[in-house]
Amino acid sequence: MGGFFGAISKRDCVLDIFFGVDYHSHLGTRRGGMIIHDAKDGFQRQIHSIENTPFRTKFDKDLAEFHGCSGIGCISDTDPQPLLVRSHLGLYAITTVGIINNAEELIQRYFSDHGHQFMAMSSGKVNSTELAAALINQKDDLVSGILHAQEEIDGSLTLLLLTEQGEIIAARDRVGRLPVLVGKKEGAHCVSFESFAYHKLGYTDAYELGPREIVRITADGFETLSPAGKEMKICAFLWTYYGYPNSNYEGINVEVMRYRNGEIMARDEVARGLLPKVDYVAGVPDSGVPHAIGFANRSGKPFARPFVKYTPTWPRSFMPTSQEARNQVAKMKQIPVPELIEGKKLLFVDDSIVRGTQLRETVEFLYESGAEEVHMRSACPPIMHSCKYLNFSRGNSDMDLLARRTIQELEGDEGQQHLEEYADANTQRGQCMLKTICEKFGFNSLGYQSLDGLLEAIGLDRDKVCTYCWSGRE
Protein backbone atom coordinates (compact mmCIF):
# COMPACT_ATOMS: atom_id res chain seq x y z
CA MET A 1 0.00 0.00 0.00
CA GLY A 2 2.08 2.93 1.25
CA GLY A 3 2.18 5.79 3.71
CA PHE A 4 3.57 9.30 4.02
CA PHE A 5 4.82 11.90 6.48
CA GLY A 6 5.53 15.60 6.19
CA ALA A 7 6.71 18.32 8.55
CA ILE A 8 7.25 22.07 8.50
CA SER A 9 9.07 23.96 11.22
CA LYS A 10 10.75 27.24 12.12
CA ARG A 11 14.00 25.29 12.35
CA ASP A 12 15.56 22.35 10.51
CA CYS A 13 13.17 19.39 10.57
CA VAL A 14 15.01 16.76 8.51
CA LEU A 15 15.24 14.33 11.41
CA ASP A 16 11.51 14.61 12.10
CA ILE A 17 10.77 13.71 8.48
CA PHE A 18 13.31 10.88 8.46
CA PHE A 19 11.92 9.18 11.57
CA GLY A 20 8.32 10.00 10.70
CA VAL A 21 8.60 8.29 7.31
CA ASP A 22 10.47 5.35 8.83
CA TYR A 23 7.52 4.74 11.14
CA HIS A 24 5.43 3.98 8.04
CA SER A 25 7.66 1.09 6.93
CA HIS A 26 5.01 -1.50 7.85
CA LEU A 27 2.90 -0.16 4.98
CA GLY A 28 5.24 -0.93 2.10
CA THR A 29 8.32 -2.82 1.02
CA ARG A 30 9.43 -1.51 -2.37
CA ARG A 31 10.56 2.13 -2.28
CA GLY A 32 11.13 5.01 0.08
CA GLY A 33 11.62 8.66 -0.73
CA MET A 34 12.28 12.03 0.90
CA ILE A 35 12.29 15.57 -0.45
CA ILE A 36 13.34 18.54 1.67
CA HIS A 37 12.89 22.25 0.96
CA ASP A 38 15.31 24.94 2.03
CA ALA A 39 14.51 28.62 1.51
CA LYS A 40 17.98 29.27 0.07
CA ASP A 41 18.93 26.03 -1.69
CA GLY A 42 15.50 24.84 -2.82
CA PHE A 43 14.56 21.15 -3.08
CA GLN A 44 16.74 18.14 -2.23
CA ARG A 45 15.44 14.68 -3.08
CA GLN A 46 16.39 11.02 -2.73
CA ILE A 47 14.53 7.82 -3.65
CA HIS A 48 15.84 4.37 -2.76
CA SER A 49 14.76 0.77 -3.16
CA ILE A 50 13.91 -0.73 0.24
CA GLU A 51 13.15 -4.25 -1.01
CA ASN A 52 16.19 -5.75 0.68
CA THR A 53 17.27 -2.99 3.06
CA PRO A 54 15.05 -1.05 5.50
CA PHE A 55 14.26 2.63 4.92
CA ARG A 56 16.26 3.76 7.94
CA THR A 57 19.44 2.06 6.70
CA LYS A 58 19.04 3.27 3.11
CA PHE A 59 18.57 6.93 4.04
CA ASP A 60 20.97 7.18 6.97
CA LYS A 61 23.85 8.41 4.76
CA ASP A 62 21.60 11.00 3.07
CA LEU A 63 20.85 12.84 6.29
CA ALA A 64 24.12 14.78 6.18
CA GLU A 65 23.14 16.22 2.79
CA PHE A 66 19.56 17.15 3.65
CA HIS A 67 18.76 20.51 5.21
CA GLY A 68 15.63 22.59 5.39
CA CYS A 69 12.60 23.61 7.38
CA SER A 70 9.96 21.63 5.49
CA GLY A 71 9.69 18.35 3.63
CA ILE A 72 7.68 15.26 2.80
CA GLY A 73 8.53 11.60 2.48
CA CYS A 74 6.88 8.29 1.73
CA ILE A 75 6.98 4.54 1.86
CA SER A 76 5.65 3.21 -1.43
CA ASP A 77 4.65 -0.27 -2.51
CA THR A 78 4.28 0.94 -6.09
CA ASP A 79 6.06 3.64 -8.06
CA PRO A 80 9.12 5.78 -7.18
CA GLN A 81 8.15 8.96 -5.35
CA PRO A 82 7.99 11.78 -4.23
CA LEU A 83 8.20 13.44 -7.63
CA LEU A 84 9.30 17.00 -8.41
CA VAL A 85 6.91 18.66 -10.86
CA ARG A 86 7.22 21.93 -12.79
CA SER A 87 4.11 23.34 -14.42
CA HIS A 88 2.12 26.56 -14.80
CA LEU A 89 1.17 26.02 -11.14
CA GLY A 90 4.81 26.40 -10.13
CA LEU A 91 7.41 23.97 -8.89
CA TYR A 92 6.16 21.45 -6.32
CA ALA A 93 6.84 18.00 -4.91
CA ILE A 94 4.10 15.40 -4.71
CA THR A 95 3.60 12.00 -3.09
CA THR A 96 0.42 9.92 -3.29
CA VAL A 97 -1.24 6.87 -1.77
CA GLY A 98 -4.09 5.10 -3.55
CA ILE A 99 -4.82 3.40 -6.83
CA ILE A 100 -5.86 4.54 -10.31
CA ASN A 101 -7.93 1.81 -11.95
CA ASN A 102 -8.64 3.86 -15.08
CA ALA A 103 -5.02 4.91 -15.65
CA GLU A 104 -4.91 3.82 -19.32
CA GLU A 105 -8.11 5.69 -20.13
CA LEU A 106 -6.78 8.86 -18.48
CA ILE A 107 -3.40 8.54 -20.24
CA GLN A 108 -4.99 8.15 -23.66
CA ARG A 109 -7.22 11.13 -23.01
CA TYR A 110 -4.13 13.11 -22.04
CA PHE A 111 -2.32 12.02 -25.21
CA SER A 112 -5.26 13.10 -27.36
CA ASP A 113 -4.13 16.67 -26.85
CA HIS A 114 -1.00 16.49 -29.01
CA GLY A 115 2.30 17.40 -27.47
CA HIS A 116 1.74 15.75 -24.09
CA GLN A 117 4.01 13.00 -22.83
CA PHE A 118 4.94 10.99 -19.75
CA MET A 119 8.22 9.57 -18.60
CA ALA A 120 7.82 5.80 -18.92
CA MET A 121 9.18 3.45 -16.26
CA SER A 122 11.18 0.37 -17.28
CA SER A 123 7.93 -1.62 -17.43
CA GLY A 124 6.53 0.87 -19.91
CA LYS A 125 3.88 1.98 -17.44
CA VAL A 126 3.32 5.55 -16.32
CA ASN A 127 4.12 6.48 -12.74
CA SER A 128 0.75 6.86 -10.96
CA THR A 129 1.95 9.91 -9.04
CA GLU A 130 3.02 11.59 -12.28
CA LEU A 131 -0.42 10.88 -13.73
CA ALA A 132 -2.05 12.42 -10.65
CA ALA A 133 0.16 15.51 -11.09
CA ALA A 134 -0.83 15.76 -14.76
CA LEU A 135 -4.50 15.81 -13.76
CA ILE A 136 -3.84 18.45 -11.11
CA ASN A 137 -2.03 20.62 -13.66
CA GLN A 138 -5.11 20.76 -15.88
CA LYS A 139 -6.64 23.37 -13.60
CA ASP A 140 -5.66 26.94 -12.72
CA ASP A 141 -4.75 26.36 -9.07
CA LEU A 142 -3.62 23.46 -6.88
CA VAL A 143 -6.85 23.09 -4.93
CA SER A 144 -9.03 22.96 -8.04
CA GLY A 145 -6.52 20.60 -9.59
CA ILE A 146 -6.58 18.18 -6.65
CA LEU A 147 -10.38 18.11 -6.61
CA HIS A 148 -10.38 17.53 -10.37
CA ALA A 149 -7.91 14.66 -10.07
CA GLN A 150 -9.94 13.00 -7.34
CA GLU A 151 -13.10 13.21 -9.45
CA GLU A 152 -11.41 11.85 -12.57
CA ILE A 153 -9.73 8.90 -10.87
CA ASP A 154 -11.54 5.60 -10.51
CA GLY A 155 -10.03 4.35 -7.25
CA SER A 156 -8.64 6.71 -4.66
CA LEU A 157 -6.13 9.53 -4.29
CA THR A 158 -4.66 10.78 -1.02
CA LEU A 159 -1.66 13.08 -1.32
CA LEU A 160 0.86 15.53 0.05
CA LEU A 161 2.24 18.50 -1.91
CA LEU A 162 5.31 20.54 -0.95
CA THR A 163 5.31 23.94 -2.66
CA GLU A 164 8.31 26.06 -3.64
CA GLN A 165 7.31 28.39 -0.79
CA GLY A 166 7.95 25.49 1.55
CA GLU A 167 4.29 24.99 2.52
CA ILE A 168 2.60 21.59 2.68
CA ILE A 169 -0.81 20.89 1.15
CA ALA A 170 -2.52 17.68 2.29
CA ALA A 171 -5.60 16.10 0.73
CA ARG A 172 -7.58 13.12 1.94
CA ASP A 173 -9.22 10.98 -0.74
CA ARG A 174 -12.73 11.67 -1.90
CA VAL A 175 -14.51 9.36 0.56
CA GLY A 176 -11.82 9.13 3.22
CA ARG A 177 -10.71 5.54 2.65
CA LEU A 178 -7.39 6.37 4.29
CA PRO A 179 -6.64 8.65 7.24
CA VAL A 180 -4.70 11.93 7.19
CA LEU A 181 -3.78 13.47 10.54
CA VAL A 182 -2.12 16.74 11.55
CA GLY A 183 0.14 17.02 14.60
CA LYS A 184 1.60 20.06 16.34
CA LYS A 185 4.39 21.09 18.67
CA GLU A 186 6.05 24.39 19.47
CA GLY A 187 7.12 26.07 16.23
CA ALA A 188 6.18 23.13 14.00
CA HIS A 189 3.35 21.12 12.46
CA CYS A 190 3.33 17.75 10.71
CA VAL A 191 1.00 15.58 8.66
CA SER A 192 0.93 11.82 8.77
CA PHE A 193 -0.85 8.63 7.84
CA GLU A 194 -0.10 7.09 11.26
CA SER A 195 -0.65 9.13 14.42
CA PHE A 196 1.93 7.31 16.53
CA ALA A 197 4.64 8.41 14.07
CA TYR A 198 4.43 12.00 15.27
CA HIS A 199 3.64 11.22 18.91
CA LYS A 200 7.15 9.74 19.26
CA LEU A 201 8.58 12.98 17.82
CA GLY A 202 6.95 15.21 20.40
CA TYR A 203 3.89 16.27 18.41
CA THR A 204 0.38 16.10 19.79
CA ASP A 205 -2.89 15.53 17.93
CA ALA A 206 -4.16 18.68 16.26
CA TYR A 207 -6.62 17.67 13.55
CA GLU A 208 -7.90 14.76 11.44
CA LEU A 209 -8.92 15.63 7.91
CA GLY A 210 -12.40 14.70 6.79
CA PRO A 211 -13.14 12.97 3.48
CA ARG A 212 -12.17 15.09 0.47
CA GLU A 213 -10.78 17.83 2.71
CA ILE A 214 -7.72 19.81 1.63
CA VAL A 215 -5.59 21.78 4.11
CA ARG A 216 -2.54 24.02 3.93
CA ILE A 217 0.02 23.45 6.70
CA THR A 218 2.65 25.91 7.87
CA ALA A 219 4.94 26.01 10.89
CA ASP A 220 2.38 28.19 12.69
CA GLY A 221 -0.74 26.15 11.96
CA PHE A 222 -3.10 24.89 9.30
CA GLU A 223 -6.14 26.09 7.40
CA THR A 224 -8.81 24.36 5.36
CA LEU A 225 -8.63 25.18 1.66
CA SER A 226 -11.53 22.94 0.63
CA PRO A 227 -14.10 21.61 3.14
CA ALA A 228 -14.72 17.99 4.00
CA GLY A 229 -17.43 16.06 2.19
CA LYS A 230 -20.25 14.22 3.95
CA GLU A 231 -19.65 10.71 2.59
CA MET A 232 -17.02 8.54 4.26
CA LYS A 233 -15.92 4.96 3.50
CA ILE A 234 -12.82 4.38 5.59
CA CYS A 235 -11.16 1.01 5.00
CA ALA A 236 -12.05 -1.57 7.68
CA PHE A 237 -8.86 -3.52 6.88
CA LEU A 238 -6.84 -0.75 8.53
CA TRP A 239 -8.05 -1.99 11.89
CA THR A 240 -7.95 -5.72 11.21
CA TYR A 241 -4.51 -5.85 9.60
CA TYR A 242 -2.72 -2.90 8.01
CA GLY A 243 -2.79 -0.38 10.84
CA TYR A 244 -0.05 -0.36 13.46
CA PRO A 245 -1.24 -1.19 17.01
CA ASN A 246 -0.57 2.33 18.33
CA SER A 247 -2.55 4.05 15.59
CA ASN A 248 -5.91 5.75 15.90
CA TYR A 249 -8.29 6.27 12.99
CA GLU A 250 -11.45 8.30 13.49
CA GLY A 251 -10.68 8.20 17.20
CA ILE A 252 -10.62 4.38 17.34
CA ASN A 253 -7.38 2.65 18.40
CA VAL A 254 -6.20 -0.32 16.33
CA GLU A 255 -5.03 -2.55 19.21
CA VAL A 256 -8.15 -1.91 21.27
CA MET A 257 -10.34 -2.71 18.27
CA ARG A 258 -8.51 -6.01 17.77
CA TYR A 259 -9.01 -7.05 21.40
CA ARG A 260 -12.69 -6.19 21.09
CA ASN A 261 -12.94 -8.06 17.79
CA GLY A 262 -11.53 -11.24 19.31
CA GLU A 263 -13.87 -10.93 22.28
CA ILE A 264 -16.89 -10.65 19.97
CA MET A 265 -15.79 -13.72 17.99
CA ALA A 266 -15.50 -15.78 21.20
CA ARG A 267 -18.79 -14.42 22.56
CA ASP A 268 -20.67 -15.44 19.44
CA GLU A 269 -19.00 -18.85 19.27
CA VAL A 270 -19.86 -19.63 22.89
CA ALA A 271 -23.44 -18.50 22.31
CA ARG A 272 -23.75 -20.91 19.35
CA GLY A 273 -22.11 -23.75 21.29
CA LEU A 274 -19.27 -24.00 18.78
CA LEU A 275 -16.26 -23.34 21.01
CA PRO A 276 -13.98 -26.40 20.79
CA LYS A 277 -12.13 -27.89 23.75
CA VAL A 278 -8.58 -26.64 23.35
CA ASP A 279 -5.52 -26.29 25.54
CA TYR A 280 -4.50 -22.87 24.24
CA VAL A 281 -5.65 -19.95 22.13
CA ALA A 282 -2.86 -18.43 20.04
CA GLY A 283 -2.44 -15.72 17.44
CA VAL A 284 -0.67 -16.10 14.10
CA PRO A 285 2.17 -13.59 14.53
CA ASP A 286 2.11 -10.69 14.49
CA SER A 287 -1.20 -9.03 13.64
CA GLY A 288 -3.29 -12.05 14.66
CA VAL A 289 -2.03 -11.88 18.25
CA PRO A 290 -4.27 -9.09 19.65
CA HIS A 291 -7.38 -10.69 18.09
CA ALA A 292 -6.35 -13.94 19.80
CA ILE A 293 -5.82 -12.22 23.16
CA GLY A 294 -9.35 -10.88 22.98
CA PHE A 295 -10.65 -14.33 22.01
CA ALA A 296 -8.81 -15.98 24.91
CA ASN A 297 -9.98 -13.40 27.44
CA ARG A 298 -13.64 -13.88 26.53
CA SER A 299 -13.55 -17.67 26.00
CA GLY A 300 -11.69 -18.40 29.24
CA LYS A 301 -9.10 -20.46 27.37
CA PRO A 302 -5.47 -19.64 28.23
CA PHE A 303 -3.45 -17.61 25.73
CA ALA A 304 -0.07 -18.96 24.61
CA ARG A 305 2.57 -18.48 21.92
CA PRO A 306 3.28 -21.94 20.49
CA PHE A 307 5.53 -20.43 17.86
CA VAL A 308 7.24 -17.11 17.44
CA LYS A 309 8.68 -15.25 14.47
CA TYR A 310 12.39 -14.63 14.10
CA THR A 311 12.57 -11.32 12.27
CA PRO A 312 15.92 -9.57 12.83
CA THR A 313 17.36 -10.63 9.48
CA TRP A 314 14.21 -11.08 7.40
CA PRO A 315 11.54 -8.70 8.68
CA ARG A 316 9.15 -9.56 5.84
CA SER A 317 8.59 -12.99 4.33
CA PHE A 318 7.74 -11.60 0.88
CA MET A 319 10.94 -9.64 0.39
CA PRO A 320 12.90 -12.15 -1.74
CA THR A 321 12.13 -12.00 -5.44
CA SER A 322 11.38 -15.70 -5.99
CA GLN A 323 8.37 -17.50 -4.52
CA GLU A 324 10.58 -20.42 -3.52
CA ALA A 325 12.82 -18.09 -1.50
CA ARG A 326 9.81 -16.38 0.09
CA ASN A 327 8.39 -19.72 1.16
CA GLN A 328 11.70 -20.77 2.65
CA VAL A 329 12.05 -17.48 4.55
CA ALA A 330 8.51 -17.91 5.92
CA LYS A 331 9.50 -21.35 7.23
CA MET A 332 12.74 -20.06 8.71
CA LYS A 333 10.89 -17.36 10.61
CA GLN A 334 8.57 -19.77 12.43
CA ILE A 335 10.32 -21.00 15.56
CA PRO A 336 8.30 -23.55 17.57
CA VAL A 337 8.00 -23.84 21.32
CA PRO A 338 7.67 -27.66 21.48
CA GLU A 339 6.40 -27.69 25.06
CA LEU A 340 3.36 -25.67 23.92
CA ILE A 341 2.65 -27.72 20.78
CA GLU A 342 3.35 -31.41 21.38
CA GLY A 343 0.15 -33.26 22.20
CA LYS A 344 -1.80 -30.00 22.45
CA LYS A 345 -5.11 -28.92 21.00
CA LEU A 346 -4.60 -25.41 19.64
CA LEU A 347 -6.95 -22.70 18.39
CA PHE A 348 -5.25 -20.09 16.23
CA VAL A 349 -6.60 -16.67 15.27
CA ASP A 350 -5.23 -14.91 12.18
CA ASP A 351 -6.04 -11.36 11.07
CA SER A 352 -7.46 -12.68 7.79
CA ILE A 353 -7.32 -15.54 5.33
CA VAL A 354 -6.59 -14.25 1.84
CA ARG A 355 -4.99 -16.77 -0.51
CA GLY A 356 -4.12 -19.40 2.07
CA THR A 357 -0.57 -20.06 0.79
CA GLN A 358 1.30 -19.47 4.04
CA LEU A 359 -1.61 -20.76 6.10
CA ARG A 360 -1.18 -24.25 4.67
CA GLU A 361 2.51 -24.20 5.57
CA THR A 362 1.73 -22.98 9.09
CA VAL A 363 -0.66 -25.87 9.69
CA GLU A 364 1.83 -28.40 8.33
CA PHE A 365 4.49 -26.87 10.56
CA LEU A 366 2.26 -27.25 13.64
CA TYR A 367 1.41 -30.90 12.93
CA GLU A 368 5.07 -31.65 12.21
CA SER A 369 5.83 -30.11 15.61
CA GLY A 370 3.45 -32.53 17.33
CA ALA A 371 0.12 -30.68 17.59
CA GLU A 372 -2.85 -32.97 18.26
CA GLU A 373 -5.51 -30.61 16.87
CA VAL A 374 -5.38 -27.30 15.01
CA HIS A 375 -8.45 -25.06 14.93
CA MET A 376 -8.34 -21.88 12.84
CA ARG A 377 -10.26 -18.62 13.17
CA SER A 378 -10.15 -15.60 10.88
CA ALA A 379 -10.62 -12.18 12.49
CA CYS A 380 -12.60 -10.98 9.49
CA PRO A 381 -15.17 -12.48 7.10
CA PRO A 382 -14.18 -14.51 4.01
CA ILE A 383 -12.51 -12.21 1.48
CA MET A 384 -14.57 -12.44 -1.70
CA HIS A 385 -13.32 -9.48 -3.75
CA SER A 386 -9.92 -7.94 -4.45
CA CYS A 387 -9.72 -4.34 -3.28
CA LYS A 388 -10.26 -1.86 -6.09
CA TYR A 389 -9.91 1.29 -3.98
CA LEU A 390 -6.47 0.93 -2.43
CA ASN A 391 -3.22 -0.51 -3.71
CA PHE A 392 -3.08 -3.56 -1.48
CA SER A 393 -1.13 -6.60 -2.59
CA ARG A 394 -3.42 -8.14 -5.15
CA GLY A 395 -3.49 -11.27 -7.28
CA ASN A 396 -4.30 -11.45 -10.95
CA SER A 397 -7.97 -12.20 -10.29
CA ASP A 398 -10.52 -12.81 -7.55
CA MET A 399 -9.99 -16.52 -8.15
CA ASP A 400 -6.65 -16.21 -6.36
CA LEU A 401 -8.65 -15.70 -3.16
CA LEU A 402 -9.11 -18.88 -1.13
CA ALA A 403 -12.84 -18.41 -0.59
CA ARG A 404 -13.60 -17.75 -4.27
CA ARG A 405 -11.37 -20.60 -5.39
CA THR A 406 -13.14 -22.99 -3.01
CA ILE A 407 -16.57 -21.86 -4.20
CA GLN A 408 -15.51 -22.47 -7.82
CA GLU A 409 -14.38 -25.99 -6.90
CA LEU A 410 -17.72 -26.68 -5.21
CA GLU A 411 -20.22 -25.26 -7.68
CA GLY A 412 -18.36 -23.75 -10.61
CA ASP A 413 -19.72 -20.51 -12.04
CA GLU A 414 -23.09 -21.07 -10.39
CA GLY A 415 -21.49 -20.73 -6.96
CA GLN A 416 -20.18 -17.28 -7.84
CA GLN A 417 -23.79 -16.08 -7.89
CA HIS A 418 -24.20 -16.95 -4.20
CA LEU A 419 -21.21 -15.23 -2.56
CA GLU A 420 -23.25 -13.66 0.20
CA GLU A 421 -24.67 -17.04 1.13
CA TYR A 422 -21.22 -18.64 1.18
CA ALA A 423 -19.92 -15.85 3.43
CA ASP A 424 -22.58 -16.68 6.05
CA ALA A 425 -21.61 -19.67 8.22
CA ASN A 426 -25.26 -20.14 9.20
CA THR A 427 -26.22 -21.23 5.67
CA GLN A 428 -25.79 -24.63 4.04
CA ARG A 429 -23.44 -23.18 1.45
CA GLY A 430 -21.41 -21.41 4.16
CA GLN A 431 -21.05 -24.64 6.11
CA CYS A 432 -20.04 -26.50 2.98
CA MET A 433 -17.26 -23.99 2.24
CA LEU A 434 -15.93 -24.21 5.80
CA LYS A 435 -15.94 -28.03 5.68
CA THR A 436 -14.12 -28.06 2.33
CA ILE A 437 -11.37 -25.67 3.51
CA CYS A 438 -10.98 -27.68 6.72
CA GLU A 439 -10.45 -30.87 4.74
CA LYS A 440 -8.05 -29.16 2.35
CA PHE A 441 -5.86 -27.66 5.07
CA GLY A 442 -6.25 -30.23 7.81
CA PHE A 443 -8.07 -27.99 10.29
CA ASN A 444 -10.19 -29.60 12.96
CA SER A 445 -12.52 -26.61 12.70
CA LEU A 446 -12.64 -23.24 10.93
CA GLY A 447 -14.53 -20.06 11.72
CA TYR A 448 -14.70 -16.54 10.32
CA GLN A 449 -15.69 -13.36 12.10
CA SER A 450 -19.06 -12.14 10.84
CA LEU A 451 -19.36 -8.79 9.10
CA ASP A 452 -21.76 -7.63 11.81
CA GLY A 453 -19.25 -8.65 14.49
CA LEU A 454 -16.40 -6.84 12.74
CA LEU A 455 -18.39 -3.63 12.40
CA GLU A 456 -19.41 -3.87 16.05
CA ALA A 457 -15.73 -4.10 17.00
CA ILE A 458 -14.83 -1.02 14.94
CA GLY A 459 -17.69 0.97 16.38
CA LEU A 460 -18.39 3.31 13.44
CA ASP A 461 -21.68 3.55 11.62
CA ARG A 462 -21.90 0.83 8.97
CA ASP A 463 -22.32 3.34 6.15
CA LYS A 464 -19.02 5.05 7.08
CA VAL A 465 -16.89 1.92 6.65
CA CYS A 466 -15.75 0.29 3.41
CA THR A 467 -16.37 -3.46 3.47
CA TYR A 468 -16.12 -4.06 -0.28
CA CYS A 469 -13.58 -6.92 -0.05
CA TRP A 470 -16.07 -8.94 1.99
CA SER A 471 -19.48 -7.78 0.82
CA GLY A 472 -18.81 -6.56 -2.72
CA ARG A 473 -20.94 -3.50 -2.00
CA GLU A 474 -19.70 -0.11 -3.18
Say which amino acid occupies 403. Answer: A
Determine the 3-state secondary structure of 219 from DSSP: coil
Q: Residue 286, preceding bond cis, omega within 30 degrees? A: yes
- Helix, strand, coil in percent for the chain, rounding step 5: 35, 25, 40
Rounded-to-integer distance, Cα 350 and Cα 124, Å: 38
* 424 CB-side CA count, 13 A: 9
The pTM (predicted TM-score) of the whole model is 0.91
Give 120's strand partners. 126
Per-residue pLDDT of the chain (474 residues; tens, 9 = 90+): 899 999 999 999 999 999 999 999 988 888 999 999 999 999 999 999 988 788 888 999 899 999 999 999 999 988 899 999 999 999 999 999 999 999 889 988 876 665 565 655 545 578 999 999 999 999 999 999 999 999 999 999 999 999 999 999 999 999 999 999 999 999 999 999 999 999 999 999 999 999 999 999 999 999 999 999 999 999 999 999 989 999 999 999 999 999 999 999 999 999 999 999 999 999 988 889 999 999 999 999 999 999 887 766 555 544 455 656 656 666 677 788 999 999 999 999 999 998 887 788 888 888 988 999 999 999 999 999 988 888 765 556 888 899 999 999 999 999 999 999 999 999 999 999 999 999 999 999 999 999 999 999 999 999 999 999 999 887
Domain 252-471 belongs to what architecture?
A: 3-Layer(aba) Sandwich (3.40)
Fold of 2-230: Glutamine Phosphoribosylpyrophosphate, subunit 1, domain 1 (3.60.20)
75-108 core/surface letters (b: 16 or more CB in 10 A; e: else): bbbbbbbbbbbeeebeebbbbbbbbbeebeebbe
Give 446's strand partners. 376
Q: Measuring CA to CA, how many Å separate 39 from each of 13, 17, 47, 88, 433?
A: 13, 17, 21, 21, 61
Domain ranges of the chain: 2-230, 252-471
